[in-house]
Amino acid sequence: MLTQNQLKLAVAQKAIEFVPDDAIVGVGTGSTVNLFIEELSRIKGRIRGAVSSSEASTERLKAHHIPVFDLNAVDDVPVYIDGADEINHYLHMIKGGGGALTREKIVAAVAREFICIADETKYVSVLGQFPLPVEVIPMARSHVARELVRLGGHPEMRHGFTTDNGNIILDVHGLSIAKPVEMEETINQIAGVVTCGLFARRRADVLVLGRQNGVDVIR
Ligand SMILES: O=C(CO)[C@H](O)[C@H](O)COP(=O)(O)O
């Protein structure tokens, strides 16, 4: 029986196959991506560098001497590699367990292809068991929380946490998300929300899924 960490390592290694030569690679955030960064450092001679979705990943990339570019100075990101907290069979995701959802969504929007790397515990039929992270401008906290309750959720402030953008996170429990695209749009329209952790409009193009009997590539 492989551990979750071994499954994460297997998908991190497989993801290297999706990295083209000379690319500037979009790099996500989280423990699965940390393993991917290790793998990327082994082939750093054949890429130009990376664009990063968080201060934490930037630090790690730099520690491995992988050049990190300002996203504004880059016009082509062929692939974005990132993990997920949950991913459904349509490759819609909940992300933001690490609080980097907004920058992740920005880099994902620029990238031509989103490769999600996840172990099988993340692969679900209906999103929402994992509390949905929502990044909120601090002065709008109470207003946004009330609106999220109206949508049927139970928002909980992530105490002691500030995003790389200086904002707070509300983790919303109890949402069973049958229509991810509509839910993403509804939450993103609440005044004071920067973005929510639903990646449905910009879903993954490829899922590299770590299973006990091997790694599956799902498109
Ligand atoms: O969205 C994320 C960070 O904001 C991560 O991709 C997500 O939380 C999965 O993390 P891990 O690989 O540690 O399970």
ipTM of the complex: 0.98
* Identified catalytic residue from 104, 135, 147, 184: 104
β strands within the chain, DSSP E: 24-27, 49-52, 79-82, 86-87, 93-94, 113-119, 132-136, 154-157, 168-173, 193-196, 198-199, 206-211, 214-218
- Which whole number is the average pLDDT over 27-45? 97
- Provide the pLDDT for residue 173: 98
User: 105: Cβ below 6 Å to ligand 1?
Assistant: no
Which pLDDT band holds residue 176 (cuts at 50, 70, 90)? confident
What is 132-196's CATH number? 3.30.70.260
**pLDDT value for 55:** 97
Task: Give nearest CA residue, ligand 1 atom 7.
Answer: 84
For CATH 3.30.70.260, the residue range(s) in the chain are: 132-196
Provide the CA 53 distance to its chain's centre, in angstroms.
Answer: 9
Structure tokens at 23: 């690319």
The atom of ligand 1 lying closest to the CA of 118 is 12
User: Mean pLDDT for the chain?
Assistant: 97
On whether 95 is known to bind a ligand per the annotation, the reply is yes
pLDDT at 23: 97
C-alpha–C-alpha distance, residues 194 and 168, integer Å: 10
Q: Label the pairing between strands 86-87 and 79-82.
A: unpaired
pLDDT at position 127 is 96
Q: Does the beta carbon of 99 sit less than 6 angstroms from any atom of ligand 1?
A: yes
- For the record, the structure tokens of 199 come out as 């990646």
- pLDDT for 74: 97
Is 171 annotated among the ligand-binding residues? no
162 pLDDT band, cuts 50/70/90, is very high
Q: How far is the CA of 138 from the centre of ligand 1 (A)?
A: 23
- Which amino acid, residue 143? H
Contact 48, 24 (CB under 8 A): yes
Instruction: Compute the distance from residue 96 Cα to the ligand 1 centre, in Å.
Output: 6
Between the CA of 34 and the centroid of ligand 1 the distance, in Å, is: 10
Ranges of CATH 3.40.50.1360 domains, the chain: 4-125+201-218
Nearest to 116 by CA among 179, 36, 214, 20: 36
Task: Name the fold adopted by 4-125+201-218.
Answer: Rossmann fold (3.40.50)
162 a known binding residue?
no
- 82 belongs to an annotated ligand binding site: yes
For 92-128, write each residue's pLDDT tens digit. Answer: 999 999 999 999 999 999 999 999 999 999 999 999 9
Counting ligand 1 atoms within 8 A of each CB, the residue from 7, 8, 29 with the most, and so the one to mutate, is 29
What is the distance between the alpha carbons of residues 73 and 139, in angstroms, rounded to a whole number?
Answer: 32
pLDDT > 70 in the chain, percent: 100
Pairing of strands 154-157, 168-173: antiparallel
Q: Which amino acid is at 210?
A: G
Annotated catalytic residue 120: no
Locate tokens 């300002």: which residue? 70
What local confidence, expressed as pLDDT, does residue 40 receive? 98
Contact yes or no for 164/55 (Cβ under 8 A): yes
Is residue 142 pLDDT above 90, yes or no?
Answer: yes
Record the tokens describing residue 36, joined without a space: 């991917």
Q: Best substitution site from 53, 58, 95 to test ligand 1's pocket, by max atoms within 8 Å of Cβ?
A: 95
